[in-house]
Structure 1
Amino acid sequence: MYKHFLLSLFFLSGFLFSGMAQSPAEQRIQKVENGLSGTIVSSADGNQNTFSIQQRMQKWKVNGLSVAVIDKGNIAWAKAYGLRDSAQPNAPVDTTTLFQCASIGKVITAVLAMHLIEEQKIGLDEDVNTKLLHWKIPENDLTDKKKVTLRMLLSHSAGLSDDYGFEGYQPGKVLPNLKEILEATAPANNRKKIKVTQVPGTTERYSGAGYMIIQQLIEDLTGFPYATYAEQILFKPLGMKHTTYSFYPDTEKGLTIARGHHDNGQADPKRKYNVYPESAAAGPWTTPSDLARLIMAIQQSKEGKPGAILKQTLIKQMLQPQINSMGLGLPLKGSKTVAGFWHAGNNAGYTGMLFAMTESGQGAVVLTNSNSGEWMALEVIRSIANAYHWPLTMTIYAQPIPQPERYCGTYELPDKSGLLLSSSGQELYFKKTGSNKNFRLYRISDGTFHIQEKPDNLSFEFQQSSDGRITGLTMYENGGSTVPLQKSNN
């Protein structure tokens, strides 16, 4: 019944518009809707199998999907597809339908934390325990060496070993308060105590608990509940009218929500969704258009526009790699320079993805009501990137490599470690010295080389002598790390 209803909607849409001339904007939307593929690398001629959104929703068992696209600094369009609830075939998703966005909410938290810095309530490199009032990070010999700071919490480098992810709670059950979550005591279902197990600032390790510490910090420094502060500082000023930290937005606020679904596309008959009291790490209900407004506010702040939500200097710090490719609350994209930021989210029954460019005023948000929606969201994002010619996330159109054997050999650092390049037919590969794992290198139209496993954050440029011999290469990684390697004569 569900599939027949979806197909009838899509065929009706095609019938209504088939006799009308399409505008360039409509043509682009159609290109996005019919350009989905799981392929990251394609041949230079661009020949690859592509699919429609409807086809991929069926493949990935995604019942409902909502998307917003930003172009030239504005929301270009927003559309919704499929059903809010697989058990209700007459309940289609629309662009005001709320989804849980899960960890994408950490972007909200990061902006709020930077606002504390703008208000001079805390310094980015200040010991957070001197500001926390109602709970403190347990001290040990590691925190004696280095104190935990807001910079470290935002960049997942505070040395915490919780590895949270949160499970959520069945609706109607007693929910833990913030202190119970932080202390891992009943009724909280997170059982791992918060503990610093590595020297703060030395290692990146994803930490949901770190963002719960930031929530406590926000509440202690402002005197407001976290949700109230978010409403005052971000949601109202940015017009994010469909974003809420209400645990039950459908029954408490009368808002239309998408029901969560399992990997197999089926709904849990006992509940519509799990409840997440871990607001700063996993809690928001929202729409792609509202998150697009947040993206645009970040982009406008970076440009230093009047009335921006944060000072330009603070946004630039957020977009600066802190450790690996992690900024302040924003995972970053780009090899030579930071060209974009992103975040994914996954709660029980919901997945989504946010992508944005730092310079071109472009971006997109995709939210789904499925556990298996992450790959679906990524395919939609890539199709948008292709249609709008983003500098990132596009399909790699691999160009032929003339005489790949010219590149073969050992490329060394001063300590004699480095890369070993080899060829097989017309294909070029590299592996790290001492490793057996090969990665295929793909040449693109600008002459740089990329790998499928890390297409946006790693690139290679080869140097050659006047007589055409390859003499070395430069490896660019994570928005600015530059590693030159000399080709050995051996």
Structure 2
Amino acid sequence: MKVFKRIAWIGLSVLVWTIFVGLGFINGFLLRGITSSDTSEAFIEVSTEEIENEVEGSLAMVLIEDGEVSQDFFYSIDQPVNGNTVFPVASVSKWVTSFGIMKLVEQGKVDLDKPIDDYLTRWHLPESDFDNRKVTVRRLLSHSAGLVDDLGYEGFARGEKVQTIEESLTKASDSPYAEGVARVGVEPDTEYLYSGAGYTILQLLIEEISGQSFQDYMTEAVFEPLRMNNSTFVLADKPNLQLAQLYKEDGTLTEPRTFTALAAASLFTSTADLSKFLIANLTDNPVLRRETILQMSKPETFINKIGVYGLGPHLYSQNDAQSNIIGHDGSGGTIVINTAARVNIKSNNGIIALTMGNPSVASEIADEWLFWEAGIADFVVMQRNIPFLIKLLVVGYLVILAVSISIIRKVKSES
């Protein structure tokens, strides 16, 4: 009986320790950040230590503290990059586009909850098994309109015919791995379905309402007021910009692509300009009122009751009441791109990481910043901590074993 009790005690101790470490992993209280220092200098130093082994092209990185740029870091294997070097930022384009849409909302020209088809004349949603009138501007902005295109635009190479917006919405020819048809395939406002076509529809909306090209409207409504002088959705309109070298998967240099889906995927910008955009999210600015930005930052779409998307920005706080971190990431198709821009509108701190030649390092750095800034652990942080937690488990088991042996010997000696 005594032997059984001892085995049961050891087993219970092991179980309790395993559960404790498991909860510490899931809830984050046992996870370690990449640095214990709270200075931006330390974060930059640690997060970029291995950059030469990971980035085969270039990296531009900026930290924002208290609403101002505090630190930056630039790296390149060939042509140098700096704060004014222009990178294609892929889906970060969507967040910037949302400023243009919400400007029309502030002006009373667009109603967030009016059916999108009521605004369009050049193209309409195809018939579906669902009520297309539930596809509103609000739901397009928040990826909850039920569109099942799964786009993913890759753009067009030099010499290829570039589709019109209407042609692209009917069947995007620069999306080889998706259906590429802008159609409603799920009941609107029932689930989060990331949609590139949704933002192409919003691009068409801007042109229909403003009477301008999307490029001209965004330049006048967003770029010029925020003094984002090195930003454009159409690279040909600003041929003198200092463009970062672009790489294919095999590491060879390539040329920029041309997009029909400007709003979803075609923004070219620099860390200096993108910093101005992030800072604009922290206060009243020449484009949008503060109350509008706060409205955009509230959850509109959920996964398992966690808010994941607002009216333009992705939401990263995972329902944490102490932070309100918004932003967007982007990645490329035929060009190896990874970009990340995030800002905490409660603390006024943010990060921008733009990489060419690596498909994931910008998002990984931004995920590390998320934990460093607010203690919110994403996959990258959890994965990095696995060896430490395994070591913690083993040490705990050894301590339990040592204590158990000590107790058993003491009991035996006393008897």
* Alpha-carbon distance between aligned partners in 1 of 2:290 and 2:396, rounded to the nearest angstrom: 47
Contact 1:79 1:95 in 2 (8 A): no
Max Rg structure:
2
Aligned residue pair count: 339
SS at match of 2:280: helix
Q: Report the CA distance shift for 1:211/1:205 in structure 2 as closer, same or farther (over 3 A).
A: same
Q: Aligned runs of 1:75-86 on 2, under 5 Å?
A: 75-83=69-77
* Alpha-carbon distance between aligned partners in 1 of 2:55 and 2:252, rounded to the nearest angstrom: 11
Q: Report the CA distance shift for 1:336/1:66 in structure 2 as closer, same or farther (over 3 A).
A: closer
* Alpha-carbon distance between aligned partners in 2 of 1:57 and 1:379, rounded to the nearest angstrom: 15
SS at match of 1:156: coil
Q: Determine which structure has the larger strand proportion and give its number.
A: 1
Structure 2 residue 232 is the aligned partner of structure 1 residue 226: no
* Alpha-carbon distance between aligned partners in 2 of 1:216 and 1:180, rounded to the nearest angstrom: 12
Q: Aligned runs of 1:20-419 on 2, under 5 Å?
A: 28=39, 30-36=41-47, 53=48, 55-58=50-53, 60-83=54-77, 89=78, 91-143=79-131, 147-184=134-171, 192-248=180-236, 253-264=239-250, 266-268=251-253, 271-301=254-284, 307-324=285-302, 325-334=308-317, 335-337=319-321, 339-347=324-332, 348-372=335-359, 374=360, 376-381=361-366, 384=369, 390-393=373-376
SS at match of 1:289: helix
Q: Report the CA distance shift for 1:339/1:185 in structure 2 as closer, same or farther (over 3 A).
A: closer
* Alpha-carbon distance between aligned partners in 2 of 1:311 and 1:195, rounded to the nearest angstrom: 33
* Alpha-carbon distance between aligned partners in 1 of 2:129 and 2:122, rounded to the nearest angstrom: 22
* Alpha-carbon distance between aligned partners in 2 of 1:186 and 1:263, rounded to the nearest angstrom: 21
The superposition leaves residues 411-467 of structure 1 with CA deviations (integer Å, 9 ceiling, x where unpaired) of: xxxxxxxxxxxx99969xxxxxxxxxxxxxxxxxxxxxxxxxxxxxxxxxxxxxxxx
* Alpha-carbon distance between aligned partners in 2 of 1:267 and 1:240, rounded to the nearest angstrom: 30
* Alpha-carbon distance between aligned partners in 2 of 1:365 and 1:223, rounded to the nearest angstrom: 33
SS at match of 2:50: helix
* Alpha-carbon distance between aligned partners in 1 of 2:375 and 2:342, rounded to the nearest angstrom: 10
The superposition leaves residues 23-72 of structure 1 with CA deviations (integer Å, 9 ceiling, x where unpaired) of: xxxx9564233312xxxxxxxxxxxxxxxx252332x2432001122111
Unaligned segments of structure 1, at least 5 residues: 1-26, 37-52, 84-88, 302-306, 399-422, 428-490
Q: Report the CA distance shift for 1:426/1:160 in structure 2 as closer, same or farther (over 3 A).
A: farther
* Alpha-carbon distance between aligned partners in 1 of 2:210 and 2:268, rounded to the nearest angstrom: 23
Greater RCO, 1 or 2 (C-alpha within 8 Å, sep 6+): 2
Tell me by how many angstroms 1:392 deviates.
Answer: 4.6
Tell me by how many angstroms 1:263 deviates.
Answer: 4.0
SS at match of 2:248: coil
The superposition leaves residues 350-388 of structure 1 with CA deviations (integer Å, 9 ceiling, x where unpaired) of: 11101110111110111011242x2x21343356567xx
* Alpha-carbon distance between aligned partners in 2 of 1:113 and 1:267, rounded to the nearest angstrom: 37
* Alpha-carbon distance between aligned partners in 1 of 2:293 and 2:369, rounded to the nearest angstrom: 25
Contact 1:219 1:226 in 2 (8 A): yes
The superposition leaves residues 312-352 of structure 1 with CA deviations (integer Å, 9 ceiling, x where unpaired) of: 33222211111212111111122233521121101222111
SS at match of 2:282: helix
**Identity between Structure 1 and Structure 2 (%):** 27
Instruction: Write the letter of the residue equivalent to 1:102.
Output: A
Q: Report the CA distance shift for 1:164/1:29 in structure 2 as closer, same or farther (over 3 A).
A: same
Indicate the RMSD between aligned Cα atoms, in angstroms.
2.8
* Alpha-carbon distance between aligned partners in 2 of 1:320 and 1:129, rounded to the nearest angstrom: 25
Give the TM-score of the pair, scaled to structure 2. Answer: 0.75
Instruction: Write the letter of the residue equivalent to 1:367.
Output: L
Contact 2:248 2:336 in 1 (8 A): yes
Give the TM-score of the pair, scaled to structure 1. Answer: 0.64
Q: Determine which structure has the larger helix proportion and give its number.
A: 2
SS at match of 2:139: helix
